[in-house]
Amino acid sequence: MDGARRIVQEILEVADVAVNGERPWDLRVHNEGFFGRVLAGGSLALGESYMDGWWDCERLDELITRILENDLQQRVRPSLRVAILWLRSMFLNAQRKSRAYEIGERHYDLGNDLYRIMLDKGMNYSCGYWKRAKDLDGAQEDKLELICRKIKLEKGMRVLDIGCGWGGFARYAAQRHGIQVIGITVSKEQASIAKERGRDLPVEIRLQDYRDLDGTFDRIVSVGMIEHVGVKNYRAYMNIAARCLAPDGLFLLHTIGSNVSTRYGDPWTDKYIFPNGMVPSLRQLAKAAEGLFKLEDLHNFAQYYDPTLMAWHANFISRWDQIKDQYGERFFRMWRYYLLSSAASFRSGLARLWQMVFSPLNSTSIYERIPDL
């Protein structure tokens, strides 16, 4: 037996995964070069070899869940890409202002047709709240209502949405709660749809980096955006939020979270999905907010990102024929790998999902958490 194949098989056996086995989570290898490639390249090579069609798995989400639960990635030597990411994080600011629009261009501007077939009717690209919901639309609407209640919206308030996406929160909050919303995004495609959807409402959408914000707002929300800010910029981000928030205002931060503090993201995800992205830890966020805000509430509902991602995957698969001529087979495999490996990261407990409510350090208001929906 080839040495590389034997080593990979021994590593996979720890997670009860077989090569060319019959169970849904077993690997089906089509190219024998896979074994040496993944040993040399780690998680980046695993994802790239899947994109190239070198292996398949009926339940890719279950395979990667087993890999993560058993920490198999630590049994493979780090790739050169990991070393590059570490060096970049130490000596460069990968999320500096001059690169602010890169994530919009490379991820969110991939095509509104892609996101229309995948997301809910409100085009919310963040974790839904499935406590009582029966489907994706309901889970996303409940998430938006939960946010509105947590920040105690009142009619006539002026609200800032940092990273407004396709305008899901802005439209919902303006319609249901009678507020004025200013939303910012670094994606031209998102801004186009968000402006159209908010056209008849008190909603203003700006193509703008958060570092260019000014003005004062009664409330601030930021849903699924700080993952693009980077550890070198967390303090600046919090300073800007503090500067823009009214003295008795509230700031809700909704973010994917990490159990440990890191300085860079997964090599495959960084290269193909979210360039320059990284997931914050509680320690990093608390340090950035110290002296600026009081943490009023911390709510984890990471268990709901798994069903959200699986719903997105089901939509993507069932409607792929509508867009396949625009994107091609390699993109199809890449996007499946992204959605299913992300679901695995939450299912395994590796990733968290937090909603944090902050008030200004000198606020005189008393915050009372609302009961869950």
pLDDT(1) > 50? no
Q: What pLDDT is stored for residue 280 in this prediction?
A: 97
- Per domain, the residue ranges of the chain are 3-77, 102-360
Cα-based distances in Å from 263 to 94, 100, 231, 234: 10, 18, 6, 12
Per-residue pLDDT band for 90 (boundaries 50, 70, 90) equals low
pLDDT of the residue at 139: 98
- In this predicted model, what pLDDT tens digit does every residue of 36-51 receive, in sequence order? 999 888 899 999 999 9
pLDDT of residue 88: 59
pLDDT tens for each residue of 124-158: 999 999 999 999 999 999 999 999 999 999 999 99
The β-bridge partners of 360 are 293
Residue 308's nearest CA partner among 118, 106, 112 is 118
- Average pLDDT, integer, range 50-56: 98
Q: Taking a C-beta distance cutoff of 8 angstroms, is the pair 240, 334 a contact? A: no
User: Contact, 288 vs 235, CB < 8 A?
Assistant: yes
Supply the DSSP string of 194-221, one letter for each residue: HHHHTTTTTEEEEE--GGG--S-EEEEE
> Which residue(s) pair with 29 in the sheet?
55
Query: Tokens 């069903």 correspond to what residue?
Result: 307
Residue type for 48, please? E
Look-up: residue for tokens 């719903």? Answer: 311
Q: Which residue has tokens 């098989």? A: 9
CB 211 within 8 A of CB 241: no
- Tens of pLDDT, residue by residue over 158-172, are 999 999 999 999 999
Pick the CATH number of 102-360 from 1.10.10.60, 3.40.50.150, 3.30.497.10, 3.40.50.720: 3.40.50.150
Which pair of tokens denotes residue 312?
């997105």
Residue with more model confidence, 73 or 332 = 332
Q: What percent of the chain has pLDDT over 90?
A: 84
Per-residue pLDDT of 268-322, as tens digits, reads 999 999 999 999 999 999 999 999 999 999 999 999 999 999 999 999 999 999 9
pLDDT at residue 355 greater than cutoff 50: yes
Cα separation, 169 vs 183, in Å, equals 9
- The dihedral region occupied by 42, where left means phi > 0, alpha psi between -120 and 50, and beta the remainder, is left
Tell me what percent of the residues of the chain surpass a pLDDT of 70: 94
Q: Is 359 helix (H, G, I), strand (E, B) or coil?
A: strand
**One-letter identity of residue 359:** S
Q: Is 291 left (phi over 0), alpha (psi -120 to 50) or beta?
A: left
Is residue 329 over pLDDT 70? yes
Does residue 265 register a pLDDT over 50?
Answer: yes
Chain CA centroid to CA 266, Å: 13
Checking if the pLDDT of 32 tops 50, the result is yes
CA distance 241 to 226: 12
Report the distance separating Cα 194 and Cα 232, nearest Å: 29
Give mean pLDDT, residues 95-102: 79
Q: What are the CA-CA distances from residue 36 to residues 7, 9, 55, 173, 237 (Å)?
A: 9, 12, 13, 52, 43
Tokens 């398949």 appear where? 56
More confident residue, 63 or 372: 63
What is the pLDDT confidence band of residue 331, given thresholds at 50, 70 and 90?
very high
Kindly state the tokens that stand for 45: 């090579």
CA separation for the pair 99, 183 (Å, rounded): 20
Task: Answer whether residue 82 shows pLDDT above 90.
Answer: no
Instruction: Say which range, 94-108, 226-240, 269-283, 291-305, has the weakest mean pLDDT.
Output: 94-108
- Residues paired with residue 78 on neighbouring β-strands, in sequence order: none
State the chain's maximal CA–CA distance in angstroms. Answer: 71
The pTM assigned to this predicted structure is: 0.94
Picking from 247, 262, 163, 177, the residue whose alpha carbon sits closest to that of residue 211 is: 163
Average pLDDT over the chain, rounded to an integer = 93
More confident residue, 19 or 99: 19
- The pLDDT assigned to 76 comes to 65
What's the pLDDT at 95? 74
